[in-house]
Structure 1
Amino acid sequence: MKFASTTDYVATDELAVAVNAAVMLERPLLVKGEPGTGKTELARQVAAALSLPLIEWHVKSTTKAREGLYEYDAVSRLRDSQLGDARVHDVRNYIRKGRLWQAFQAEGRVVLLIDEIDKADIEFPNDLLQELDRMEFTVEETGEVVRARHRPVVIITSNNEKELPDAFLRRCFFHYIRFPDIDTLKAIVRVHFPDIKDRLLTAALVQFFELRETPGLKKKPSTSEVLDWLRLILAEDLAPEDLRAEPGAVLPKLHGALLKTEADLHLFERLAFLNRGGRG
């Protein structure tokens, strides 16, 4: 089965090609794009479309690559030895399997999501090269070699916060999720709000793109934020003409769902001041 758009997720043709190419080549799919463009949800939808279980590994700034393999709890073993616990004689009692180990030992093929890899230290991707290439690793404490029973479909996301090493990039199939154009965004919105009226949707998205494309904006609102904004609009039962508070207003109604920084609010306040001709 090949991946394509689903009833819950709109995938462009280019994205579908990237997913299917990575699956065929058995390469990790590295997906970059702005936050909120559906990178994490892509892995969930791929798993659903291919009828495969999903294992998620959400990376943090403190995450080490080895945690994806396993963690050895030496502190608990020392404590148990002081208490005379018989479990201390088997080191395997103190080894916790990581997400890669779980994916490698699954009964069938799985989708493995390594989410926001760019949050971790720059060495994090390099530390995973051998395991992702060979699909095996050694547990140092026991000498056990863990090999993948079935090569997982690996999807790696990045918000582009830092550059990834060339050696890592060479091993991946790459796709950048561009921000959707207005027609694609309409299709995405209709997945979530199938009953939204055309006139309201068009008016809202025109305003949204005007706001998003404002020069000097520090944090551009994402797909997830426009969905939140539209959910509020529908909950308030606003008409297209209600979206701006008054003629000539710079900010749309409920703009707190779209603008998330003080700098951006100040930017629009300055624009409003200029639109009024600089009057106080």
Structure 2
Amino acid sequence: MNKFQGTSNYIASNDLKVAVNAAITLEKPLLIKGEPGTGKTLLAHEIAKALDKPLYTWHVKSTTTAQQGLYEYDAVSRLRDSQLGDEKVNDIANYINKGKLWQAFEADERVILLIDEIDKADIEFPNDLLLELDKMQFFCYETGQEIVAKHRPIIIITSNNEKELPDAFLRRCFFHYISFPDREILKEIVAVHYPNLEDELVEKAMQLFYAIRNQRNLKKKPSTSELIDWIKLLMVGKINAQELDEVMAGNSGTPYLGALLKNEHDKALIR
């Protein structure tokens, strides 16, 4: 299998490339943490694109259970169909709704499985997946089937660090923290999104962005995705480098500040 080297749309640091390829080699889930907006979820999409593999996405919510990733048995529909005399009630498999793990396990080729924001779920959620992620198999009690992965999927798990994950789960993962990109990588990311943007505007925008980001006592520092949104607004609003100079000099307010800062405390601090 080809190694992941990033894509034309995703600038990956050397450390991140090493982490992705190490997890693939070890056949372990890759656990990705980092600030919101640093491209954790997008990474799985770009790995699928780079390796030309299908992507299965399981978005985790606070109410999500591990069982939903395997399958769910729709007993209510079966009861209704039995009352209506529908013959399909004789085959319980008609009422098994396959989850993302089951779909990934039965795929005819190796796929990418994204388990997105695992820390949103109950603390027991990761523990409930230990066997399935380790052995790549599980049992469906309703049909009596042992579901075994045809091809071990490449599993990407993201976390925003909202809660600690269990040690037993962490031992089964290869871990990588996506640090905020340095200035040169950030310029490359901006260039991917806006290839025709004049260099002076990029420099001034990044200078102002870092001045805001490096302010002490911010509750939420602006991220890469917020920088991209902000630069788009600067372009639409025809803001030039000289106007950003005026902001840096304290002669005017930051245009479109709401794209960078997302609460009243931070906006008041910068103003």
TM over 0.5: yes
Q: How far off is 1:187 after superposition?
A: 0.6
- Map Cα deviations across residues 244-268 of structure 1 (whole Å, 9 max, x no partner): 5584157421111001111212223
Give the unaligned 5+ runs of structure 1: 270-280
* Equivalent residue for 2:269, pick from 267, 270, 275: 267
**Contact 1:30 1:174 (8 Å CA) reproduced:** yes
Residue in structure 2 matched with residue 190 of structure 1 by the alignment: 191
The one-letter amino acid paired with 1:108 is E
Q: How far off is 1:60 after superposition?
A: 0.7
**Contact 2:19 2:176 (8 Å CA) reproduced:** yes
Task: Tell whether 2:13 aligns with 1:12.
Answer: yes
| Counterpart-to-counterpart distance in 2, 1:7 and 1:123 | 38
| Counterpart-to-counterpart distance in 1, 2:190 and 2:206 | 10
Alignment of 1:93-242 (within 5 A): 93-242=94-243
- SS for the counterpart of 1:248 is coil
TM-score (norm 1): 0.93
Give the unaligned 5+ runs of structure 2: none
| Counterpart-to-counterpart distance in 1, 2:251 and 2:121 | 42
- Map Cα deviations across residues 143-181 of structure 1 (whole Å, 9 max, x no partner): 100000000000000011110000000000000000111
| Counterpart-to-counterpart distance in 1, 2:183 and 2:236 | 22
Task: Tell whether 2:257 aligns with 1:255.
Answer: yes
Residue in structure 2 matched with residue 46 of structure 1 by the alignment: 47
The one-letter amino acid paired with 2:250 is G
**Contact 2:257 2:267 (8 Å CA) reproduced:** no
**Contact 2:104 2:111 (8 Å CA) reproduced:** yes
**Contact 1:250 1:268 (8 Å CA) reproduced:** no
Q: How far off is 1:242 after superposition?
A: 1.4
- Map Cα deviations across residues 78-130 of structure 1 (whole Å, 9 max, x no partner): 11112221121111111000000000000100000000101111111010100
Segment drifting more, 221-230 vs 75-84: 75-84
Segment drifting more, 201-210 vs 79-88: 79-88
| Counterpart-to-counterpart distance in 2, 1:250 and 1:212 | 18
**Contact 2:59 2:116 (8 Å CA) reproduced:** yes
Task: Tell whether 2:93 aligns with 1:92.
Answer: yes
| Counterpart-to-counterpart distance in 2, 1:46 and 1:106 | 17
The one-letter amino acid paired with 1:196 is L
The one-letter amino acid paired with 1:20 is N
| Counterpart-to-counterpart distance in 2, 1:268 and 1:11 | 31
| Counterpart-to-counterpart distance in 2, 1:223 and 1:162 | 23
| Counterpart-to-counterpart distance in 1, 2:260 and 2:130 | 38
Residue in structure 2 matched with residue 68 of structure 1 by the alignment: 69
- SS for the counterpart of 2:187 is helix
- SS for the counterpart of 2:126 is helix
Segment drifting more, 80-89 vs 186-195: 80-89
The one-letter amino acid paired with 2:195 is P
- SS for the counterpart of 1:96 is strand
Question: Between the two proteins, what is the percent identity of the paired residues?
Answer: 61
TM-score (norm 2): 0.96
